[in-house]
Each structure stands twice: as structure tokens, then as C-alpha cells.
Amino acid sequence: MSAPDITIEQMNLKYDSFPALQDINLKLEGNKIYALLGRNGSGKTSLLSVLSSFRPASSGSVKVGGEEVFDNEEATLQICFIRDEGNVYEEENAKKALAFASKFRPNWDAAYADQLMEKFKLPYNKKVSSFSRGMKSAMGAVIGLASRAPITIFDEAYLGMDAPSRYAFYEEILRDYMEHPRTIILSTHLIEEVESLFEEVVILDQGKILLHEKVDEFRDKGVAVTGSADRVDEISINMKVLSEKRLGPTKSVTLFGELDRETKQKISHYQLETGPVGLQDLFIHFTSKKEGDES
């Protein structure tokens, strides 16, 4: 399966006069896993709703495979949008709800849906409306995965799921993506849990695109350094420290920016360990900046 590219140009969305999305320009190539990050109210759900044709943009263009997506059945059949409330038909038992979901999904894999129901321990014969919050989310995950839609979107679809279920969900996304490549967009606040899945990251801030980058390039904006606390302090002294943790005599810091030659030499001389920066630390840094900040 080859997933179509998504191209958004000069797109704006207003709720009455409130500008929820402003001048959005974004190109997402097919067959990658994207992180859509942003603080509360930054516009993630609004962006995904426009992309999925749940609502029209106020202006600009949103194309999937070169075709405007709004009111375009062929384009929207390629998209499966699972929201935090699950998008599940709740008035019937789970078996009927799955049958209902499959009607609008041309790539639906019923055998895979059965495997996932088993994996998430979801009962077929219970009304979905009687499911717990986490079970409803797991049902959304089953529908999103078994749809095998070329563009699959999970918008905080993990809400209420316990940790084992969430990790089972992430594992399944990666496993099934490897077997059936497609575009997957995950909007999440649990960045540390899922960061290893992402190839590219998009950050929204107050309705605007703050950043769109390959995750590896994004991570290169900083470095994590661990070792004896006084030596770690010494090399961090002139750098922006994004986070720090101390365990007895050992300290780990996340530093923002490139290391100069002298600092690199000290790190090597002191035998400090270096590693990649967590996405979450960078995300917090980028989205908590105040006007006038330079870095």
C-alpha cells in the first residue's frame, strides 16, 4: 500500500471569530509515522478534524493525494480518524459495532480485528456503551488498526488505557506498520512513551506550526550527559540545561545547543556518557518559550 501525500497550504480555521489555526502550511509524505505535538488548546484536534474532512477549513487548501479532501468521498475513505472518545458506535454490542465500523473501511481486516479484540481482552457480547473508559479507547485502537487506512490518525486515542494496554497499543502500531506501511499520525501528550515510533515531528503552538522536522534532526539540537555530578556541572555551566536528574553522586542533564570543542574534549576526558535528547525535554523547551527568548 502506498499512502498518498498530504499537502496543506495557507489553511486557516476559525470558530466564529476565534482563529484556531492560522496560515498552516504542511507537507506530510506518505508511509511515515508522525508525531503531532502541542500544548492544550494549540489546535491539534482542529487540524486533524480538517484533515479528516470532519469540518471544512475557513480558507486555504487541504489535499490528500492531490485532491481537496472536504466533501470528497474517495479521499475520505482513505482516512481513519480515531478521536479520544473512540468514534465507536456505542448502542450495540462490540461485535455489531465492529461490523458497523467495517462498512466504511475498504481495507478492513476482520481477522486482524479479532486478534486485537483478544489482545485487548474486549468482550464481543457487551454493549460498547457499558465499556469502561479505557476499554472504549482500546475499541477505538482496534478499529483504527484493523481499518488499515492509508492515513490513520489517533488523536489521544489512549485516554483511560492502563499502562500495559498503552504499551500493547504502541507495540501493535509499530508491528502492523512494518507489515503494512501507511501514514500514521499520533497526537499525544505522553511523549516519552511513544517517541521511539516517530520519524517526523510536527509541533503546533497557538494555532500555528512551530516546527516540522525529522525526529533525528530534532534530537540533534541537544545532548544528554551523565556522570559524576561535579563534572557534569562543570561542562553544563555555560549551556542551557533543559532538565536534570540526580541519583547519589551521579547526575544526568539534557543540554540544548551544540557542544563546543573544549566541552567535547572535557566530556571525553572525564569519561562522561552522552546520549540522545528525549523528545519531551525539547518539546517543553520549544513550547514554553516566551516572546523575546532567543534559543
Ligand X SMILES: Nc1ncnc2c1ncn2[C@@H]1O[C@H](COP(=O)(O)OP(=O)(O)OP(=O)(O)O)[C@@H](O)[C@H]1O
**Going by DSSP bridges, is the β-strand pair 6-15/18-28 parallel, antiparallel, or unpaired?**
antiparallel
Rounded least distance, CB 13 to ligand X, Å: 8
Nearest distance in Å: CB 20, ligand X: 4
Nearer to ligand X, 46 or 78 (CB): 46
Of residues 119-158, those binding ligand X (CB under 6 A): none
Q: What is the 3-state secondary structure (H, E, C) of the chain?
A: CCCCCEEEEEEEEEECCEEEEEEEEEEECCCCEEEEEECCCCCHHHHHHHHCCCCCCCEEEEEECCEECCCCHHHHCCEEEECCCCCCCCCCEHHHHHHHHHHCCCCCCHHHHHHHHHHCCCCCCCEHHHCCHHHHHHHHHHHHHHHCCCEEEEECCCCCCCHHHHHHHHHHHHHHHHHCCCEEEEECCCHHHHHHHCCEEEEEECCEEEEEEEHHHHHCCEEEEEEEHHHHHHHHCCCEEEEEEEECCEEEEEEECCCCHHHHHHHHHCCCEEECCCHHHHHHHHHCCCCCCCC
- Of 33 and 157, CB closest to ligand X: 157
Q: Name the minimum Å distance from CB 12 to ligand X.
A: 12
Min CB(130)–ligand X separation in Å: 26
Q: Which is nearer to ligand X, 38 or 227 (CB)?
A: 38
**Smaller CB distance to ligand X: residue 155 or 176?**
155
d(CA 34, CA 41): 19
CB of 282 to ligand X, least distance (A): 18
Q: Which CB, 38 or 86, lies closer to ligand X?
A: 38
For residue 58, the minimal CB distance to ligand X (Å) is 12
Quick one: 18 or 178, whose CB is closer to ligand X?
18
Question: How open is the CA angle 267-271-275, to the nearest 5 degrees?
Answer: 65
Closest separation in Å from C-beta 194 to ligand X: 15
Describe the strand order of the beta sheet including 6-15 as a list of residue ranges.
18-28, 6-15, 59-64, 67-68
Binding pattern for the stretch 240-259 against ligand X, x by CB under 6 A and - elsewhere: --------------------
Site string for ligand X, 3-42 (x = CB under 6 A): ------------x--x-x-----------------x-xxx
Looking at the Cβ atoms of 42 and 87, the one nearer to ligand X is: 42
**Total residues contacting ligand X (rule CB under 6 A)?**
11
Identify which of residues 190 and 241 has a Cβ nearer to ligand X in the complex.
Answer: 190
Contact string 42-71 vs ligand X (x = CB under 6 A): xxxxx-------------------------
To ligand X, the closest distance from the beta carbon of 99 in angstroms equals 30
The footprint of ligand X (CB under 6 A) covers: 15, 18, 20, 38, 40-46
